Amino acid sequence: MFDHMNTITLRATFAATGKGRLPPYLGSTIRGVLGHCIRSFVCPHPEVKCHLCTISADCAYAQNFCSPGNEAGAVNPYVLRALTRDKADWNPMDTCQFDITLIGKSSEQAGLFIDALQEMQSRGWGASRLPFELQQITNPVQNTLIWNSGKLWMRNCQPRPMSFPERRGRSAVIRFESPVRILVSRQLRHQLSFADLIQSLSRRIALLSHAYTGYQLQWDEEAMMADARRIQAVAESWRPVDFSRYSMTRGGKLDLPAIIGWARYEGDLTPFSQLLAAGELLHVGKNATIGFGNYQVSYDQ
C-alpha cells in the first residue's frame, strides 16, 4: 500500500561534555539545533523569511523545515523521536539518543542530515548552550553503523520502501509514547476515538505522499471512516500535557496543548493494520517534527 514511499531512519547517539539543564522533552530542542545547522549550510539569505524567499522551492532548509508552496498542504518530510526522555539535569558523559526518519524526497538527502548531526557538536543545545559530542549514527532498522569516530558508511544509509504486512486483529491497545495533538474543527481532542485517529492518520500520510513522492493515494475516505466508526474504545486513559516551545518564526513562546495516554479499541482492525503500522513510523497529528504523535500498537490476537 505504501511501497512507493521511501524512508531512512538515522539513530544518533550524543554524550554531554558539560553540565547543565535541558527541557525534559527534547524533541523541540533537537529540532531547533538541527535546523540551525542545516540552515547555516544551505541558506544564502538568512535575513529573509522562508515563505518570502525567491529560492525557497529549491532550498533544502525550506523544504525540510518550512514546507513552502506544497499544494498538498503544510507537512514536513521527517519525524523526530527522542529516545532519551524525562531528563532535565545533565552531567558530562550522560547520553542522549534520538531517531530521525526522513520521508520521500528527504530520504535522498541523508548525507545533509549526517553533516548536520556532526555540526551539532559545535553548537550548544538549549538556553544553557549545553555542549554535546557525537558518539555514533546507526541505521536501527538494519542494525548497521553509518558514522563512528569520523568514519562514514554511506552504503548503510540507503532509503527503503515502506512495506507492512496485513495484521489480523479484533482488539488492540494503542499507547502514545509522546504527546499527541489531533484537532477537529480547530479544537484539540482530549480523548481519541478510533475514527479521530484514522482520519488524522490517513490525511497526514496522503499529504506526505503527495508532497514528497508525487503519488496521490487513492482510497474511499467515506467508506474508510464508516468502517472506522464501527470500532469502539472499550477502555482508555488520557491526561492533558501543557507544552510550549520557542518559535523562531513567531519570535516568542508557542503553546502546544496536547494529550498523552492509551486506548483499547475493539472491532475489525484488519483493514486498518497497514495504515496503523505506517503511523508507528510516521507519527500522527500535529508537530510530528518534534516527535509528537508517536505510538505503538499491541494486538491481543
Which DSSP string corresponds to the chain?
A: --TTSEEEEEEEEEEE-S-EE--SS-HHHHHHHHHHHHHHHH-S-TTS-GGG-TTGGG-HHHHHHT-TT-TT-S--SEEEEESS-S--EE-TT-EEEEEEEEEGGGGGGHHHHHHHHHHGGGS-BTTTTB-EEEEEEEETTTTEEEEETTEE-GGG---EE--------SEEEEEESS-B--EETTEE-SS--HHHHHHHHHHHHHHHHHHHH-------HHHHHHHHHTSEEEEEEEEEE--EEEETTTTEEEE--EEEEEEEEES--GGGHHHHHHHHHH--SS-GGGTTT-EEEEE--
pLDDT at 55: 87
Q: In the chain, which segments carry CATH 3.30.70.1890?
A: 6-161
Q: What is the mean pLDDT of the chain?
A: 92
> Which residue has better confidence, 58 or 230?
230
Q: Per CATH, is 6-161 categorized as 3.30.70.1890? A: yes
pLDDT at 113: 97
- Please give the share of the chain, as a percent, with pLDDT higher than 90: 81
pLDDT at 77: 95
Pick the CATH number of 171-299 from 3.30.230.10, 3.90.550.10, 3.40.640.10, 3.30.70.1900: 3.30.70.1900
pLDDT category, 230, cuts 50, 70, 90? Answer: very high
Question: For residue 168, is pLDDT > 80?
Answer: yes
Poorest-confidence range of 48-52, 76-80, 207-211, 262-266?
48-52
Question: For residue 131, is pLDDT > 70?
Answer: yes
